[in-house]
Chains A and B, each alone.
Chain A
Amino acid sequence: MSNFSFISETEWRCGCCNKELQPRKVNVEYMGSVFNVELMVCPVCGFVLVPEDLALGKMLEVEQLLEDK
């Protein structure tokens, strides 16, 4: 099994609710496709933290895949 995860302890709190973020599976819509990803989420309002390595790393790999060049 893979040990890969975007879940990690974070000091970020939800700005609106002032709650600690918790791991949760969310649907990420990206370039016309929907992906199920486990990310840190505010348990009250559903705010999702997109970590830098996801935004700048994995998103790029998926983007290259979806571009169909």
Chain B
Amino acid sequence: MNTTLLKHTPLLCEQQELQQITGDTLRPGGIALTRRAMEFCNLPARSTILDVGCGYGQTMALLASQFGLAPTGLDPSSSMLWKAASLCPDMPLLLAEADAIPVQNDFFDAIISECVLSLTGNMQASLQEMWRVLAPGGKLVLTDIYVRKATPLPDAHPAEIRSCLHGAVPLETLEIYLKSAGFTIHLFEDHTAMLRQLAGQIIFSYGSLAAFWQLFLGADKAAFTCSSLATAKPGYCLLIAAKE
């Protein structure tokens, strides 16, 4: 995979056509899944937490206001961080990639990364970096798309648009990556219904999944994308792991 190329292609989640459906959370499940994850983690008030791929800062605002945490946001998009700064004016924000976090070792009590890991272009390096900046005993909260059948999705998604579907891997692969980075998995929950809810809403809003992809791709590539996704059968999951 050409990581450099991917990092400079437009993001699907930044497109207004998707934002009109997901709102500013930019992902399946919205804040409901964030709440579920935080209730499981039960972090003490004032715990430090890094939001890798914080986007517009919706999760950071939730973590601070409703869970009493001290969030730091990280995102490679300056335009997203600009909006996050207005929503979370007193919170630290880092303009950086997930595989090069400009923070010292063992710093954060927890890390959250929602529908982002598969976007990073190098999941293994990103997980190793998250492990490095996480304090011993710290929790890692991941939500992400996975594929149930290994299919060459990157070929199905040309460089015109980039989404978390791009780098999605089978669950077995994600589990290997997590363990290789040093994490112990504490919780796995399948939330594929949330992804299907989003896909269904796209159909009702744009007429069909193919019509939606045609907003960003040519007709042939949109059809190829739909075909590849039907084969890959994407799912969506919540994973909570720890650095032990």
- Interface residues in chain A, defined as those with a beta carbon under 8 Å from any beta carbon in chain B: 1-2, 4, 28, 30, 32-37, 58, 61-62, 65-66, 68
Contact = CB atoms under 8 A, between A and B. Distances in A.
A62 B205 CA distance: 12
B211 A1 contact: no
A66 B208 CA distance: 14
A40 to B, nearest CB: 15
A52 to B, nearest CB: 15
Contact of B211 (A4, A33, A34, A66): A4
Contact of A4 (B193, B197, B200, B207): B207
A62 B67 CA distance: 36
Centre residue among B17, B203, B209, B215 by max chain A CB count within 10 A:
B203
Interface of B is mostly: helix
Given A1-B17, A2-B17, A32-B193, A62 B200 contact: yes
A58 B207 contact: yes
A66 B194 CA distance: 10
B206 interface: yes
Interface in B55-110: none
A33 B197 contact: yes
Contacts of B208: 58, 61
A52 B224 CA distance: 28
A1 B161 CA distance: 16
Nearest to A34: B197
Given A4-B211, A32-B193, A33-B193, A65 B203 contact: yes
B103 to A, nearest CB: 39
Contacts of B206: 2, 4
A37 B204 CA distance: 6
A36 to B, nearest CB: 7
